[in-house]
Amino acid sequence: MNDKIYKVILFATALIIPTVCGGVIYALVTDAYQAFEHFGFFKFLTSSEWSYTEGAEQYGALPFITGTLMTTLLALIFCIPFSLPVALFVGEYFKGTRIAAILSTVTDLLAGIPSIIYGLWGFYTLRPIIMALNISPQGSGILTASLVLAIMIVPYAASLSAEFIKMVPNDLKEGAYSLGATRAEVIRKVVFPVAGSRIFSSYILAIGRALGETMTVTMLIGNTNSIPESITSTGNSMASIIANQFGEADDLKLSSLIAIGLILFLITAFINLIGKIMIKRARIA
Amino acid sequence: MESVKPILEFKKTCVSYTKQTMAVKYVSAVIEPNTITAIMGPSGCGKSTLLRAVNLMHNLYPNIRVDGEILLNGENILSMEPIDVRRKVGMVFQRPAPFPTMSIYNNVLSGYSLNGIRLSKTEKDATVERCLKSVALWDEVKDVLNKKGTFLSGGQQQRLCIARALAMKPDVLLMDEPTSALDPIATAHIEELMQELQKEVTILIVTHNMGQAMRISSKSMFMYLGELVEYGDTETMFTNPIDERTKVYLTGKMG
Amino acid sequence: MDKLKIQNRLAKDKAMKLVVCLLAALTAVPLFAILGEVFLRGYDQLSWTFFTEPTPTAYRVMKAIENGEPIPGGIVNGIVGTMIMLAMAVVAVPLGILCGAFLAENSKSRFAKFVSYLTDLLQGTPSVIIGIVVYIWVVVPMKGYSAIAGSVALIIMMLPLIIRSTEETLKILPASLKEAGLALGGNRARVMLKVQLPAAFGGIFTGVLLAISRVIGETAPLMFTALGCSFVRYAIDKPISAVPLLIWEFFNDPNLQELIWGASLFLLLFVLTLNLTAKYFAKKWNQ
């Protein structure tokens, strides 16, 4: 095989990725078109009606966009107090030691658990606890879903931020210690400022993960098609409404679900792009 | 022997990285105030290790043991709080590393902000000006004090790091090959500076460069395989070394 | 400086370390809680027939309930389905490796950077969306759900992972390796095949294992592509089951709840074993 054929073969396989991505966007846009045309793009985004009465079908994405944003945001809030300590534990306090390797393995395994099993655990263990604590009568809802979602994104955010914390040059840390700083002060005033924007970007990427998480949310969010009134109410996320209703949908409803898929795709792509750009921009000196 | 009270005294100081091997073996020496002492020796002889023991840098790494005594103004630092010791013993490292997220102004004051000490605006301004002047950087940076320190040249960055250490008004300044990453002109600058600094602070400098040791120091230590082989007046040591190993090192390198 | 202030700062330092350790340790709790629950509840359900019989029919379930017997049947239809779809999805391995090789060889070209960005995009795309798209691409034209559609979804999810691990592993190989191969007169294809790829084997293999463990537990995309099937089926153009699909079915069918934990235990063990094997290989290869 000569170099030319080799190059052509490599190039041809590399074309698969743009083809698949193009195909994804094309398929979503053409099949979502009917819904956008019927309801109007802006109306579809802002309508909170989701009713499939024959002849008077009304579909709007707002309840699900809200549901997704609420679960994601809450998951992020619950995730930070655990992922940041894990990152400091692995990347600073016990950097390179056995115990850090063990904790890394634990978080890796957490990341490996399939989302449907997280859903089961949330449903059979966490939901009864929520009910017992009288937080919400039915146990499922935005809060329950985001608690489990938080556990799912902790490993992701923690391992990324640990890498960035490890990258803070030892020179800087020793410089700070030589001026009489304690470790806590070095972390607060040197490690965080230096690695800060990258740590931030690892949370953006974690958000990207949480936005599209499907099974866990579907099993725990309670599946109601209206805008959630509080964090203890039930709702639906963009991913969960698709998972719940795609199977039996056709025509306008199918197109509406695909339109929701397109919106979810765009939001996720945007968030991931921002995260990646931020990581590249934030060079550590 | 003059009857000046020593500022720093090593008493059978030992440093070990592992149980079996000692990187520094039973070093004993007396350092007088306002002197510059050069610590020389081949790579791996323990000179940096000895220097880093003086501000308890080894405490940062759990496996390193320091034994014996190191007295600072008569008090054994090995039984003092590291953060307290390090305020009194400043350090300048091989590679200049100003804090990249702080301005030049804040870099000079970083010792205070790291230690959580609040200064008034006038105190701050005065400290910054005093320290930058004493490292001869004031004229070059007085108009860009709010810029990040990382934009400076290597030599300027190193002087900024010296200023940062001086701001804490240390009794002793440790310098670990401070010019090895710098060009000859920047090196000359720093050497000149050290002569001035000697008036306010006692300096211990680790250097590979014998010419540098000769130019700047009044006392010299020669270390070999963790031992302090010879310690005395720089001039005497260079012209008339007592120990055979010192002689070999000095001639081998110089010739 | 006064002693009190130093004590204060040291206390703060200690407190911070304590809090960090405590919260970090707490993070391990869910792992053990989940493993514990799945093991304890699933262990009793495992039996020989659990791996040899398919999902019970509604009739058998009713009969068992009437007689007060445990729910019969197992998950063999899901295991067979998962295996068939995985076997077809293996196509992703050579494709991913070639594409990764392209990215590593042309890292400076504009096109490669574009492909690299799109790989990230695909990797970040929620799996439920991959399900929708494969439904549109494959299920609609074929007029039905099928194992083929399911494996296309798996391929699309595995590709970016394999591409990334291949690219990254090839990039960290010393350049001298490639140069030595070329200097000996090998052409680029041969050097890649005989020198670079073998040298990168450990990293790529780890990537493939992780990719498989990632997709094997995926449920949402299979719901719209493979659909599920209550008996063992080997046809690739018909709806087929998979272990995660069965868990979803059991979850939704009040009569079949007893089977949930056995199926989950099987899936969890499978995924975590793959994961740990991958990690073990990565470590061994790095040495």
- Judge: A114–C248 Cβ closer than 8 Å, yes or no: no
pLDDT band at C28 (very low <50, low <70, confident <90, very high): very high
Please identify which residue in the block is written with the tokens 């699900």. Answer: A64
Measure CB to CB from residue A243 to each of C98, C125, C128 and give the nearest one: C128
Judged by a CB distance cut-off of 8 A, whether residue B255 touches chain A is: no
In sequence order, which residues have a C-beta less than 8 Å from that of residue B47 and are 6 or more positions away?
A: B39, B40, B41, B206, B221, B223
- Judge: C9–B87 Cβ closer than 8 Å, yes or no: no
Tell me the shortest Cα–Cα distance from B6 to chain A, in angstroms: 22
Tell me the shortest Cα–Cα distance from C173 to chain B, in angstroms: 29
- Judge: A114–C267 Cβ closer than 8 Å, yes or no: yes
Give me the pLDDT at residue A283, please: 64
User: Alpha-carbon distance A211 to A204, whole Å?
Assistant: 11
Measure CB to CB from residue B100 to each of A178, A180, A194 and give the nearest one: A194
Residue A102: CB atoms within 10 A of its CB come to 13
User: Alpha-carbon distance C160 to C118, whole Å?
Assistant: 9
Tell me the shortest Cα–Cα distance from C1 to chain B, in angstroms: 8
- Judge: B164–A172 Cβ closer than 8 Å, yes or no: no
Determine the Cα angle at A2 with ends A4 and C199, to 5°.
100
**Mutation to test the C interface, candidates B115, B118, B171, most C Cβ within 10 Å:** B115
Please identify which residue in the block is written with the tokens 């499907």. Answer: A214
Inside any domain, residue B195: yes
Give me the pLDDT at residue C236, please: 94
Tell me the shortest Cα–Cα distance from C3 to chain B, in angstroms: 9
Asked if residue C173 lies in contact with residue C200, where contact means CB atoms within 8 angstroms, the answer is yes
Closest CA in chain C for residue B168: C1
The domains located in chain A, with CATH, are 64-241 (1.10.3720.10)
List of long-range contacts for B117-121, beta carbons under 8 Å, 24+ apart: B117/C1
- Of B16, B35, B84, B29, the C-alpha closest to B56 is B84
User: Alpha-carbon distance C65 to A169, whole Å?
Assistant: 66
List chains adjacent to chain B, taking adjacency as at least 3 C-beta pairs closer than 8 Å.
Answer: A, C
Tell me what ipTM this predicted complex has: 0.95
- Judge: C1–B117 Cβ closer than 8 Å, yes or no: yes
Please identify which residue in the block is written with the tokens 């602070």. Answer: B201
**Mutation to test the C interface, candidates A84, A99, A109, A163, most C Cβ within 10 Å:** A109
User: Alpha-carbon distance C76 to C274, whole Å?
Assistant: 20
Which tokens hold the place of B247? 């002689």
- Judge: C6–B84 Cβ closer than 8 Å, yes or no: yes
Q: What is the pLDDT of residues C172-229, one digit of tens each?
A: 988 888 888 888 877 888 888 888 998 899 999 999 999 999 999 999 999 999 999 9
What does the mean pLDDT of chain C come to?
A: 93
- Judge: C9–B115 Cβ closer than 8 Å, yes or no: yes
Asked if residue C220 lies in contact with residue A245, where contact means CB atoms within 8 angstroms, the answer is no
Inside any domain, residue B42: yes
Asked if residue B93 lies in contact with residue B135, where contact means CB atoms within 8 angstroms, the answer is no
Q: What is the DSSP letter of C237?
A: S
User: Alpha-carbon distance B184 to C68, whole Å?
Assistant: 92
- The 3-class SS string of chain B reads CCCCCCCEEEEEEEEECCCCCEEEEEEEEEECCCCEEEEECCCCCCHHHHHHHHCCHHHHCCCCEEEEEEEECCEEHHHCCHHHHHHHEEEECCCCCCCCCCEHHHHHCHHHHHCCCCCCHHHHHHHHHHHHHHCCCHHHHCCCCCCEHHHCCHHHHHHHHHHHHHCCCCCEEEEECCCCCCCHHHHHHHHHHHHHHCCCCEEEEECCCHHHHHHHCCEEEEEECCEEEEEEEHHHHHHCCCCHHHHHHHHHHHC
- Count up the domains in chain B and report the number: 1
Tell me the shortest Cα–Cα distance from C213 to chain B, in angstroms: 38
Diameter of chain A measured on Cα atoms = 76
User: Alpha-carbon distance C153 to C135, whole Å?
Assistant: 9
Measure CB to CB from residue A179 to each of B95, B150, B164 and give the nearest one: B164
The residue range of the domain holding B45 is 8-95+172-254
List chains adjacent to chain A, taking adjacency as at least 3 C-beta pairs closer than 8 Å.
Answer: B, C
In the chain, the amino acid numbered C38 is V
- Judge: B164–A175 Cβ closer than 8 Å, yes or no: yes
Asked if residue C50 lies in contact with residue C262, where contact means CB atoms within 8 angstroms, the answer is yes
Chain C positions in Cβ-Cβ contact with residue B75 (cut-off 8 Å): none
Measure CB to CB from residue C220 to each of A9, A11, A214 and give the nearest one: A214
Q: What is the pLDDT of residues B42-77, one digit of tens each?
A: 888 999 999 999 999 999 998 899 999 999 999 999
Tell me the shortest Cα–Cα distance from C14 to chain B, in angstroms: 13
* pLDDT tens for chain A, residues 1 to 285: 678 888 899 999 999 999 999 999 999 999 999 999 999 999 999 999 998 887 788 999 999 999 999 999 999 999 999 999 999 999 999 999 999 999 999 999 999 999 999 999 999 999 999 999 988 889 999 999 999 999 999 999 999 999 999 999 999 999 999 999 999 999 999 999 999 999 999 999 999 999 999 999 999 999 999 999 999 999 999 999 999 999 989 899 999 999 999 999 999 999 999 999 998 887 644
Measure CB to CB from residue A178 to each of B57, B101, B102 and give the nearest one: B57
- Judge: A268–C136 Cβ closer than 8 Å, yes or no: no
Q: What is the mean pLDDT of each run of 10 residues along chain B (255 residues)?
A: 79 91 92 94 90 93 92 93 92 93 95 92 95 91 91 92 94 93 88 90 92 92 93 92 89 59
CATH number at residue B12: 3.40.50.300
- Judge: A13–C124 Cβ closer than 8 Å, yes or no: no
- Judge: A180–B165 Cβ closer than 8 Å, yes or no: no
Q: What is the DSSP letter of A95?
A: T
Phi then psi dihedrals of residue B203, to 5 deg: -115, 135
Q: What is the DSSP letter of A50?
A: E
Which tokens hold the place of C23? 């919260």
- Judge: B81–C6 Cβ closer than 8 Å, yes or no: yes
- Of C279, C284, C209, the C-alpha closest to A104 is C279
pLDDT of C1 above 60: no
Element (H, E) at C72: none
Q: pTM for the complete prediction?
A: 0.93
User: Alpha-carbon distance C202 to C195, whole Å?
Assistant: 13
Q: What is the pLDDT of residues C58-100, one digit of tens each?
A: 888 989 889 988 888 899 999 999 999 999 999 999 999 999 9
Inside any domain, residue B141: no
Give me the pLDDT at residue B220, please: 94
Provide the 3-class DSSP secondary structure of residue C162: helix
Element (H, E) at A43: helix A41-46
Measure CB to CB from residue A17 to each of C31, C119, C268 and give the nearest one: C119
Chains B, C: CB pairs < 8 Å: 13
Residue A193: CB atoms within 10 A of its CB come to 15
Residue A283: CB atoms within 10 A of its CB come to 9
Give me the pLDDT at residue A285, please: 43
* Superfamily for domain range C76-286: MetI-like (1.10.3720.10)
User: Alpha-carbon distance C74 to C65, whole Å?
Assistant: 16
Query: What are the beta bridge partners of residue B202?
Result: B172
In sequence order, which residues have a C-beta less than 8 Å from that of residue C223 and are 6 or more positions away?
A: A243, A246, A247, C131, C245, C248
Provide the 3-class DSSP secondary structure of residue A143: helix
pLDDT band at C14 (very low <50, low <70, confident <90, very high): very high
Residue A46: CB atoms within 10 A of its CB come to 13
Give me the pLDDT at residue B254, please: 46
- Judge: A189–B87 Cβ closer than 8 Å, yes or no: no
pLDDT of C50 above 80: yes
Which tokens hold the place of B26? 């039973």
- Of C239, C258, C265, C261, the C-alpha closest to C60 is C258
Chain C positions in Cβ-Cβ contact with residue B115 (cut-off 8 Å): 1, 9
Phi then psi dihedrals of residue A231, to 5 deg: -75, -15
Provide the 3-class DSSP secondary structure of residue A30: helix
Chain A positions in Cβ-Cβ contact with residue B80 (cut-off 8 Å): none
Inside any domain, residue B16: yes
Judged by a CB distance cut-off of 8 A, whether residue B87 touches chain C is: yes
Closest CA in chain A for residue C91: A13
In the chain, the amino acid numbered A177 is Y
Give me the pLDDT at residue B207, please: 92
Tell me the shortest Cα–Cα distance from A278 to chain B, in angstroms: 17
- Of C104, C153, C154, the C-alpha closest to C132 is C153
